[in-house]
């Protein structure tokens, strides 16, 4: 059993804890933790059997803690990962991993040097429907991949208020990218390979805190094109679609996968609901125990950050041409 500390006990930190705490077979349990406002977490921590520490340094000094799960502001992830590695603690880190390629590389290097496992929380990699999409690409049902379409949007920014870290443009550049869109960037990398270049438009059409509308046009290393959007003030939507010379496939939500072969009719398959937070933490614990490697290679984790950083730069450059 991997004794783990939760760092950050807001909504998402609690989601991670709830996915495994008291459940048999996960191979991981939360025994300690810390958060920005300890008083808000005392009742929850007591209910879950989590020993609260006053600081992150105190968590790392706890000899019972073998690993940390970071559900903290992403601007401090790199520093926290490096500190955990120096203390010999394995690290599960929520997305976005970091905000710059250089800081992501530094965090990875620290973990490799210390010989600790680092896992990045892109939980949609654990969806059975996504595994089926990978299989379709591998066995030829899609043919040569020509284009990827993706969107991950939701209404989260409705709840952002001044003073919240997610409402800080420094922590949430490109609006919905930090909470949602970065997941889809990882999904595109996972399914279709690395990015070659990006063009980005991002602005606050309605929001008074962060950008609410972000759209990207990209070229992948394979030569396939990609269009992507993330909206922070819209009804929730998760969709990724692959278009090839032999067929297309589209995942709507996490379970509904529609495939259409060349000259065929669309057919939809519904997959069972999967607890993807449980799955990712279970995979992290298994990797620490010497089992299969965590199914998100570290070079892909760094590349995802590099894409995000490049998107920020592309949006800031404002390279757009007026239509005559």
**CA distances (Å), origin 164, targets 3, 75, 93, 159, 299:** 30, 14, 20, 10, 31
So what's the pLDDT on residue 108? 98
So what's the pLDDT on residue 5? 98
SS3 letters for 58-109? Answer: HHHCCCCCCEEEECCCHHHHHHHHHHHHHCCCEEEECCCCCCCHHHHHHHHH
So what's the pLDDT on residue 322? 64
So what's the pLDDT on residue 225? 97
- CA–CA dist 7, 91 (Å, integer): 11
Set out the domains of the chain in order of their start, with CATH numbers: 2-120 (3.40.50.720), 125-274 (3.30.360.10)
Mean pLDDT (10-residue bins), the chain, 324 residues: 97 96 90 95 96 98 98 94 98 95 98 98 98 98 98 89 75 88 97 96 90 95 97 96 98 98 97 97 98 97 95 85 65
**CA distances (Å), origin 212, targets 154, 204, 209:** 10, 5, 9
Predicted TM-score (pTM) of the model is: 0.94
- CA–CA dist 228, 235 (Å, integer): 16
Closest CA to 291 of 98, 54, 26, 110: 26
Phi, psi of 267 (to 5 degrees): -130, 135
User: How many other β-carbons are positioned within 10 Å of the β-carbon of residue 309?
Assistant: 19
So what's the pLDDT on residue 87? 98
So what's the pLDDT on residue 172? 80
User: How many other β-carbons are positioned within 10 Å of the β-carbon of residue 128?
Assistant: 15
- CA–CA dist 10, 107 (Å, integer): 24
So what's the pLDDT on residue 162? 78
Whether residue 230 contacts residue 175, with contact meaning beta carbons closer than 8 Å, is answered with yes
């Amino acid at each position: 059993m991997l004794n783990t500390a939760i760092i950050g006990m807001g909504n998402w930190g609690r989601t991670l804890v709830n996915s495994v705490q008291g459940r048999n077979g996960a191979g991981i349990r939360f025994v300690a933790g810390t958060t920005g406002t300890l008083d808000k977490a005392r009742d929850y921590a007591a209910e879950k059997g989590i020993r609260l520490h006053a600081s992150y340094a105190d968590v790392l000094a706890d000899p019972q803690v073998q690993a940390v799960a970071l559900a903290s502001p992403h601007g401090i992830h790199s520093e926290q990962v490096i500190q955990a590695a120096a203390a010999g603690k394995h690290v599960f880190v929520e997305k976005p991993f970091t905000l710059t390629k250089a800081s992501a590389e530094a965090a990875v290097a620290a973990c490799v040097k210390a010989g600790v496992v680092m896992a990045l929380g892109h939980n949609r990699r654990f969806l059975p429907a996504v595994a089926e999409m990978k299989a379709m690409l591998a066995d030829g049902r899609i043919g040569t991949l020509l284009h990827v379409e993706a969107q991950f949007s939701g209404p989260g920014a409705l709840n952002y208020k001044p003073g919240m870290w997610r409402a800080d443009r420094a922590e949430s550049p490109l609006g919905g990218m930090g909470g949602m869109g970065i997941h889809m960037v990882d999904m595109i990398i996972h399914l279709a390979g690395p990015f070659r270049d990006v063009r980005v438009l991002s602005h606050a059409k309605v929001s008074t805190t962060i950008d609410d509308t972000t759209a990207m046009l990209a070229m992948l290393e394979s030569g396939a094109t990609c269009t992507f959007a993330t909206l922070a003030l819209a009804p929730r939507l998760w969709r990724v679609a692959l278009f090839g010379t032999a067929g297309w496939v589209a995942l709507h939500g996490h379970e509904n996968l529609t495939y259409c072969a060349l000259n065929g009719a669309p057919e939809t398959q519904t997959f069972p609901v999967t607890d993807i937070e449980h799955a990712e933490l279970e995979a992290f614990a298994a990797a620490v125990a010497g089992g299969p490697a965590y199914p998100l290679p570290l070079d892909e984790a760094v590349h995802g950050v590099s894409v995000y950083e490049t998107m920020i730069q592309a949006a800031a450059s404002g390279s757009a041409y007026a239509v005559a």
